[in-house]
Chains A and B, each alone.
Chain A
Amino acid sequence: MRDFDNKNRDDVTMTKTNLTTVIAATAILAGGAAVAQTLVPSPTLEAIRVRGNLECGVHVGVPGFSFPNDKGEWSGLDVDYCRALAAAVLGDAGKVKFTPTTVQQRWPVLQSGQVDLLSRNTTITFSRNATLGVNFQGINFYEGQTFIVRKASKATAAKDLDGASVCVAAGSTEEKNAADWFRERNLKVTITNFQKNDDAIAAYDAGRCDAYTAGVGALAGQRAKLKTPDDHIIMAEPISNDPQGPVTRYGDERWQAVVRWVLNGMIAAENLGVTSKNVDDMRANSKNAEVRRLLGAEGNFGQMLGLSNDWMYNAIKAVGNYGESFDRTVGKDSSLKLERGQNALWTKGGLLFTPPFQ
């Protein structure tokens, strides 16, 4: 890995010369020094290079998103993103260390600089962005409250639940959301309360209600615990909107751009058909200009971010595109078998979107 470090250092110096040219050119065009300000090197990126590893804050345990596997390695959709980021920044998906965080400590850990970013099931909200000193760098999972029903019931969306009964934990946000949603639409739905979530899902499994409600991600984990998981379907259309994605602290916009564009790169790769298996071939032979820019065969996109030009090549080679990661961790190749739903690409009826690599 020595070579790589040296190479990186060369890249940094090269970036600087390139940047100087760019700055000089833009300065003449824009006639202002303000442009130069945005191009200072990222302190976080420098710190990661000196440290030799990325510090990523993950969740202590959410099935499919963040968990230690039998070998003691952290795995899951959120963990995969950290590995891809490590591959993009340091050229090695293994150079990342994980800090499992609880609900109470996630913000302080990020704010105090103990981690470079959070990648853990955390809903993006206005007040968090505005008051906690944190920025959300995109959406890697569209979470939302939805319902699980038996396939035999033929219900496919929440509006089909008229006349049905729903099991919920008493006093939970889910109970309130569901009650409000049905009342607003004048649907007669019986809400059956239970003391705990586990009791509610057990009652649903025993056939005491027609549906059980929770977030999409949580339901995927719950479904696997049912007696016959294959007989149940998770409704694709949620009744609430709780998008989640990587979080950075205020400051260091260069680093924020890296975090944002690695996620965009994974989504773009899926859209462009670049996978961990065909990435070498695509880099060498693809005629698509965006693929060539993404993989560093054309242009200086990595260097513009302060990385090496094979940044996304490394990330995709090691972790795969967004779809591969989704299928492996929560989707069809995992035991959770979560449908893509809203997390499908915008070209395939989902919400997952990336701006172009231009």
Chain B
Amino acid sequence: MSATPGSLRLWRKRLFSTPAQTAITLAIAACVIWLLTPFMRWALVNATWTGETRADCAPGGACWVFIRARFGQFMYGFYPVAERWRPNLFGLVSLAAIAPLFVLTGRARLRLAIAALLVLPPLGVWLIGGGYGLAAVETRAWGGLMLTLFIAIYAGLIAVPLGILLALGRQSRLPLIRTLSVVFIEFWRGVPIIAVIFLASLLLPLVMPAGVGVDRLARAIIGLGLVIAAYMAEAVRGGLQALPRGQAEAASALGLGYWQTTGLITLPQALRISLPAMTNEFIALVKNTTLVLVVSILDLLGIAQSSLADPAWVGMNMEAYLFAGTIYWLICFALSRWSRSLEAGGPKGH
């Protein structure tokens, strides 16, 4: 963003065109500076960045030493230090597999996407959870940002396909399928997520036969996935209904069956239309992962809160919440930018 004379003129016209406007601009600028200065002084100027303990921190400034000391826990929870290469490796492999999707086009891109979807999820469970040659790491040791991402991604893997199927089911001409889809969507959309997680985690063990245990984390992910699937279904339905009827009719006229029409004509266009709404749901999902705290799963926010109870670091609330909040914001902001780039690319008309 270089300040070309053109853009300068534009800004001057927008902010300083009349004396009254100039006054308002200056007043607002003064307000912002007045509000931000103490914060900046606390967060940056007077802050302590290096050291070992709370005693190293200067009073009146942020104590980022706390975040440094706890960084490993904020990222991985209680995941054993010696095994942290496993989630790291999984992250790298995933990035390496997903990055070409931005470059490739056409069939190659589709093939890679399908391969990644088939291979990556089980690979992640194996690498992080262990077994089959790797040391097992119980899910109660998982935590921090790693767990937040894990929950969001795996709940998303349940929610997106299920949501698409439900949206199609809701449009179906078969009464049974349509009714089942409507009931499912309306039920899961109507219950609070926190209640779903709570019931899945606590009531299930009470009613299930002794010895049959599904992992607490898996229960929370499935519960979260089902609720978000209902929301995704409504987002996709919006896209399907926005398509002109002529699209499907033209496909039938060409002799395409239901699955061909759906897979090749209506769904790809509907998904593109619903992308902003679906991204919205996914961003909500990322933030809703924090609700798993009620069932003893210490995600990024949970581990930050528990860390605050260490007497050695008591009073670090601002630092912990600011750090966790910034990370959530970065994830959600990146997602929204990514979806905008997806919307911008490719053909738009139908």
Task: Name A residues whose Cβ lies closer than 8 Å to a Cβ of B.
Answer: 59-70, 72, 75-76, 97, 99-102, 104-105, 108-109, 111-114, 198, 221, 224-225, 227, 330, 334-336
Q: Is the CB of A68 within 8 A of B306?
A: yes
Instruction: A65 to B314: give the CA distance in the assembly, Å.
Output: 13
Q: In whole angstroms, how far apart are the Cα atoms of A65 and B59 in the complex?
A: 26
Main secondary structure, interface of B, reads helix
Q: Which residues of B contact A109 (CB under 8 A)?
A: 202, 296
B198 within 8 A of A: yes
How many Å lie between the Cα of A231 and that of B210 in the bound state?
55
Across-interface contacts of A198 in B (CB, < 8 A): 317
List B196-228 residues whose CB lies under 8 Å from chain A. 198, 201-203, 205-206, 210
From B293, B296, B302, give the contact of A99 (CB < 8 A): B296
CA distance A42 to B305 in the complex (A): 37
- The smallest C-beta distance from A95 to any residue of chain B, in angstroms, reads 14
Q: Does B274 contact A (CB under 8 A)?
A: no
Contact: B293 with A102, CB < 8 Å?
A: yes
- B306: nearest chain-A partner, CB-CB: A61
Which residues of chain B in 38-57 are interfacial with respect to chain A, using CB atoms and an 8 Å cutoff?
54
> Would you mind naming 19 contact pairs between A and B with Cβ atoms under 8 Å apart?
A60-B293, A60-B306, A63-B309, A67-B307, A67-B310, A67-B311, A68-B73, A70-B310, A72-B72, A72-B73, A72-B77, A99-B140, A102-B296, A104-B198, A105-B198, A109-B202, A111-B206, A112-B205, A224-B314
Q: In the bound complex, what is the Cα–Cα distance between A76 and B140 (angstroms)? A: 19
Compute how far the CA of A105 lies from the CA of B302 in the bound complex, rounded to whole angstroms.
15
**Considering only CB atoms, which chain A residue lies closest to B315 in the complex?**
A225
> Hey, which chain B residues are within 8 Å of A225, CB to CB?
314-315
- Residues of chain A within 8 A (CB-CB) of B306 are 60-61, 67-68, 100
Which residues of chain B are within 8 angstroms of A113 by Cβ–Cβ distance? 205, 210
A59 to chain B, nearest CB (A): 8
Which of A67, A72, A198 neighbours the largest number of chain B CB atoms within 10 Å of its CB? A72
B210 → chain A closest CB, angstroms: 8
Contact: B78 with A224, CB < 8 Å?
no
Cβ–Cβ contact A64 & B78, under 8 A: no
CB of A63 within 8 A of CB of B296, answer no
Is B202 within 8 A of A108, CB to CB?
Answer: yes
The answer to whether B140 and A70 touch across the interface, beta carbons within 8 angstroms, is no
Give the complex CA separation of A97 and B141 in angstroms.
10
A65–B315 Cα gap in the complex (Å)?
16
A311, chain B: closest CB distance, angstroms: 27
Distance from A251 Cβ to chain B, minimum over Cβ atoms (Å): 14
The reply to whether B78 and A108 contact each other, CB–CB distance below 8 Å, is no
Contact assessment for B307 and A68 in the assembled complex, using a CB-CB cutoff below 8 Å: yes
* Least distance between B289 CB and chain A CB atoms (Å): 16
Q: Are A97 and B140 in contact (CB under 8 A)?
A: yes
Q: Give B293 Cβ to nearest chain A Cβ, in Å.
A: 7
Give chain A residues whose Cβ lies under 8 Å from the Cβ of B315.
224-225
Task: Report the separation of the CA atoms of residues A166 and B97 in the bound assembly, to the nearest whole angstrom.
Answer: 61
B298 at the interface (CB under 8 A from A): yes
Cβ distance A55 to chain B, nearest Cβ, rounded Å = 10
When the two chains form their complex, are residues A63 and B203 in contact, meaning their CB atoms are under 8 A apart? no
Nearest-neighbour CB distance to chain B for A102, whole angstroms, equals 5
**CB-defined contacts of A336 to chain B, threshold 8 Å:** 311, 314
Given the known inter-chain contacts A112-B202, A113-B205, please indicate yes or no for A100 contacting B309, CB distance below 8 A: no
Which residues of chain A are near B305, meaning CB under 8 Å? 60-61
The answer to whether A68 touches B314 (Cβ under 8 A) is no
Chain B, Cβ-Cβ closest to A223: B314
A175 to B247, CA, bound (A): 67
Q: A70 to chain B: which residues have CB within 8 Å? A: 69-70, 310, 312
Check B295 for interface membership: any CB of A closer than 8 A: yes
**Besides A99-B296, A334-B311, 20 new A-B residue pairs in contact (Cβ under 8 A), listed by A number:** A59-B309, A60-B302, A60-B305, A60-B306, A61-B309, A63-B310, A67-B311, A68-B73, A68-B310, A69-B312, A70-B310, A75-B310, A102-B296, A108-B203, A109-B296, A112-B205, A113-B210, A114-B205, A221-B311, A335-B311
- On whether the beta carbons of B296 and A100 are closer than 8 Å, the reply is yes
Whether the pair B311, A64 counts as a contact (CB closer than 8 A) is yes
Q: Is B334 an interface residue (CB 8 A)?
A: no
B70 A61 Cβ-Cβ under 8 A: no
Residue pair B298, A100 in contact (C-beta under 8 Å): yes
Residues from 78 to 137 in B contacting A, C-beta threshold 8 Å: 78
> Taking the complex as formed, is B294 at the interface, i.e. its CB lies under 8 A from any CB of chain A?
yes
Q: Establish whether residues A60 and B296, one from each chain, have CB atoms under 8 Å apart when the complex forms.
A: yes
- Nearest A residue to B297, CB-CB: A100
Contact indicator B309/A105 (Cβ below 8 Å): no
Which residue of A has the minimal Cβ distance to B72?
A72
Q: Return A143 CB to nearest CB of chain B, in Å.
A: 16
A-B pairs, 7 with minimum CB distance: A61-B309, A67-B309, A225-B315, A108-B202, A61-B306, A72-B78, A112-B205
